[in-house]
Amino acid sequence: MTPAHQNAFRGIWPAMLTPLTESLDIDHDAFAAHALKLLDAGCGGVTAFGTTGEGPSFSVAERMAAVEALVARGVPASRLMVSTSCAAPSETVALTRHAVELGVPGCLVLPPFFFKGVSDQGIIDAYRWVIDRVADPRLRLYLYHIPQVAGVGLSHHVIATLLKQYPDTIAGIKDSACDQAHSVGLANAFMPPLTVYVGFEPDLQTLGRLGSTGAISGLANFVPRLVHRLVTQPDAPTAARDQQRVKELLAIFEGFSLMPALKGVMAERDGQASWLRVRPPLVALTGDEQAELRRRLLALGLDPAHD
Amino acid sequence: MTPAHQNAFRGIWPAMLTPLTESLDIDHDAFAAHALKLLDAGCGGVTAFGTTGEGPSFSVAERMAAVEALVARGVPASRLMVSTSCAAPSETVALTRHAVELGVPGCLVLPPFFFKGVSDQGIIDAYRWVIDRVADPRLRLYLYHIPQVAGVGLSHHVIATLLKQYPDTIAGIKDSACDQAHSVGLANAFMPPLTVYVGFEPDLQTLGRLGSTGAISGLANFVPRLVHRLVTQPDAPTAARDQQRVKELLAIFEGFSLMPALKGVMAERDGQASWLRVRPPLVALTGDEQAELRRRLLALGLDPAHD
């Protein structure tokens, strides 16, 4: 077989925000419209149910139904990445198998995130559980590191062990620790063969220079081309200006809870109320906060619809 | 309606360990046998799928099937407490509704535990989501605080707000933070009307003196009577000796991962291999560790089968 990393994704696969209906269920129509718009904007694909997409706030059944609804509404399964991360390895198996059988080319998988302080061996066992039980040669798994949220991270030892044992399955590493030194350390250790995809946009340029070829990014929900340029052309004449723009964009979110505020930007962009809702335990922006967000966007003079 | 706390449980409802088959699925027969043995030993009831029971490591479907299997094997639903805690509020709703409809008199519910640093409002919203959607007057909900594992805890403000809004539903607080000052603070603030049940056995006596009438305890898997005496008769002549025994028992686990080692004690007690297994990300004791655990148990000269 071909080592998985040789088919690892390239370009930007935005970590899609998840629009919600009034009852806080997933708004399938708005979700698919968002995905299709991002693909039209040149994204390599789109990612559903990562941290930005509040993935673990939805049940297995809700996540399966939403992925099916995306495909039914015209999002090619081949351009979908699905985060299938759950506290229970058996639920991660169910979601991963479901995605693979639909033709999804990559699954993004956190370590189980309920127990803390678990050993490397326990984390390796959990990934082995998923890979061995899905038992499908089509599975391409991206290791997902976001310890400040999950409470459990991935050591170099875990990554090296899994890569050695499952070279046909382990396709890459998504590093959302927001710690440049950590991302560079991963790149030095594993890239190549694996691509390290950073989630923290200020580090895209640095990782691009080291050879990273893509990203799963939250900001890419509304500035996909900007994110794409930074990582794929880190030394282009536009790069310094793009880097500055990323800094300004992130400053918009200071003092706000990130996911509700990212959704608030979406609502400003297209006026849809489905972006103003989050599922508990997140809390939507208040009207005053949304007004402040709007003020900051205007002050920036940046039209997020055009990067 | 009668305020929920007036029917809150009394006595010991052990936080049952979950025995596993060779394929690391729940061993329904061994699980029911354990529950029935604890009820025979005088426990008020038994608790399934708390942290000690590795609850969040099992899918919604697995947890539902196991609760049904306990009832089918003769464990009265009226003597079952079920932790229905999930990262997704919609899954907590499904598990809670299932338990209530089976006749389970109490559900133990963590705040959603994926996102960290969430606001009190977000945690309140999550509990409201569960209570309002289960929408069953039979629901009795125990608030579950174990921040060192869940990564998300319950403030006094959260508890007071929920108690005020749902006096017919909020039945008590399980405090497993293992911090006596915190438990005493909860007792001073909320007991009465709510009972504070501590999970950390060295604090049972203190909480018993303050009026606590029961516990959900891990050690109670094998020393239920000892645990019962300490909290219900904290000033009995046996109390000082019992307190010392708890200290000695806990010392057995030093240097081991707690849940695998608690299971190791069960295996020493009844010889069943189903206790030697844990689900990832936990890791079972090695043979050497199990031998060391046996040595410590023997050195203690304590027969856990007889408290």
Q: How many CB atoms lie within 10 A of CB B298?
A: 10
Over residues A53-76, mean pLDDT: 98
- Dump pLDDT digits (tens) for A2-42: 788 888 999 999 999 999 999 999 999 999 999 999 999 99
Any CB–CB contact under 8 A between A150 and chain B?
A: yes
- Which of A129, A148, A282 minimises the CB distance to B280? A129
Locate all alpha helices (DSSP H) within chain A, ordered by sequence. 28-40, 60-72, 89-102, 120-134, 147-150, 156-165, 180-190, 204-210, 224-232, 239-251, 258-270, 287-300
Contact list in B for residue A90 (CB cut-off 8 A) is 58-59, 62
Any CB–CB contact under 8 A between B111 and chain A?
A: yes
Nearest alpha carbon to residue A262 among A19, A23, A85: A19
pLDDT of B3 over the 90 cut? no
Any CB–CB contact under 8 A between B109 and chain A?
A: no
Q: Which residue has the tokens 């933070």?
A: B177
pLDDT confidence of residue B301: 80
Handedness of CA A177, A178, A182, A188 (dihedral sign): positive
pLDDT confidence of residue B5: 86
Is pLDDT larger for residue A303 or for residue A281? A281
Over residues B127-133, mean pLDDT: 98
Give the minimum alpha-carbon distance from A123 to chain B in angstroms, rounded to a whole number.
Answer: 5
- Which of B118, B151, B279 minimises the CB distance to A282? B118
Taking the C-alpha atoms of B56, B292, B306 and B30 in order, what is their torsion angle to the nearest 10 degrees? 40
Cβ separation of A283 and B121 shorter than 8 Å? Answer: yes
CA separation, residue B31 to residues A76, B28, B77 (Å) = 45, 5, 14
pLDDT confidence of residue A95: 98
Cβ separation of A90 and B119 shorter than 8 Å? Answer: no
Supply B30's token pair. 């061994």
pLDDT of A304 over the 60 cut? no
The pTM assigned to this predicted structure is 0.96
Classified as helix, coil or strand, A175 is strand
pLDDT confidence of residue A2: 76
Over residues B218-235, mean pLDDT: 96
- Dump pLDDT digits (tens) for B241-252: 999 999 999 999
Structural domains in chain A, CATH included, are 4-236 (3.20.20.70), 252-301 (no CATH)
How confident is the prediction for chain B on average, in pLDDT? 96
With contact defined as beta carbons under 8 Å apart, do B161 and B188 qualify?
Answer: no
- CA gap B197, B214 in Å, rounded: 6
Supply A277's token pair. 């809702």
pLDDT of B305 over the 70 cut? no
pLDDT confidence of residue B306: 53
- CA gap B161, B86 in Å, rounded: 21
pLDDT of A279 over the 70 cut? yes
Residue of chain A whose Cα is closest to the Cα of B89: A57
pLDDT confidence of residue A54: 98
pLDDT confidence of residue A301: 80
Residue of chain B whose Cα is closest to the Cα of A124: B281
- Dump pLDDT digits (tens) for B44-101: 999 999 999 999 999 999 999 999 999 999 999 999 999 999 999 999 999 999 999 9
pLDDT confidence of residue A7: 87
Over residues B223-246, mean pLDDT: 95
pLDDT of B303 over the 70 cut? no
CB pairs under 8 A between A and B: 127
pLDDT confidence of residue A197: 97
pLDDT confidence of residue A3: 87
List all residues 6 or more positions away from A4 whose beta carbon is below 8 Å from its beta carbon. Answer: A140, A141, A166, A167, A168, A169, A170, A171
- CA gap A107, B5 in Å, rounded: 45
CA separation, residue B192 to residues A281, B12, B199, B243, B252 (Å) = 28, 19, 19, 25, 35
pLDDT confidence of residue B307: 59
pLDDT confidence of residue A34: 98
Contact list in A for residue B151 (CB cut-off 8 A) is 116, 151
Any CB–CB contact under 8 A between B132 and chain A?
A: no
pLDDT of A50 over the 70 cut? yes
Contact list in A for residue B257 (CB cut-off 8 A) is 119
pLDDT of A218 over the 60 cut? yes
Over residues A229-248, mean pLDDT: 95
pLDDT of A208 over the 60 cut? yes
Which residues sit opposite A264 in a β-bridge?
none
Any CB–CB contact under 8 A between A94 and chain B?
A: yes
Interface test with A, best of B84, B90, B96 (most A CBs within 10 A): B90
Over residues A171-186, mean pLDDT: 98
